[in-house]
């Protein structure tokens, strides 16, 4: 199994920045890719960004150019650098791993952007 713990959420003004972290533990050797999802109140959970073990990335159109996903394999940690935040980025952000043994989710961290 893989355990994922997010951190770094908070309240920020529009135009500000936050960096989220997702620390993985357990069967980290089995992780093929990791990603960030978000879920706003009353909306479906959506993929924000993902990164493979080889470093390939993809982003949702709404965050492209503002968010950067990265991963430090030595620390078993994934990051999401969020710049130029907008009120519509307000959501609970979840970390997810796609592993040989299954898919795993973190508990989520709240990001709130005030206008």
pLDDT of residue 28: 87
Which percentage of the chain shows pLDDT scores above 90? 90
Beta bridge partners of 31: 99
Which percentage of the chain shows pLDDT scores above 70? 100
Quick: pLDDT tens for 31-63: 899 999 999 999 999 999 999 989 999 999 999
Report helix, strand or coil for 30. Answer: helix
pLDDT of residue 107: 97
Residue 44: Cβ-neighbour burial (10 angstroms; 0-12, 13-18, 19+): exposed
Residue 3 to residue 97: CA distance in whole angstroms:
9
Query: Average per-residue pLDDT in the chain?
Result: 96
CA 35 to chain centre: 5
């Amino acid at each position: 199994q893989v355990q994922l713990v997010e951190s770094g959420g908070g309240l920020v003004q529009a135009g500000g920045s936050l960096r989220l972290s997702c620390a993985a533990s357990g069967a980290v050797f089995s992780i093929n890719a990791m990603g960030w999802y978000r879920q706003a109140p009353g909306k479906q959970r959506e993929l924000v960004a993902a990164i493979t073990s080889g470093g390939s990335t993809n982003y949702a159109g709404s965050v492209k150019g503002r968010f950067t996903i990265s991963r430090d394999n030595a620390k078993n940690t994934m990051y999401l650098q969020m710049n130029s935040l907008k009120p519509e980025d307000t959501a609970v952000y979840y970390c997810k791993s796609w592993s040989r043994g299954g898919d795993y989710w973190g508990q989520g961290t709240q990001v709130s952007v005030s206008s």
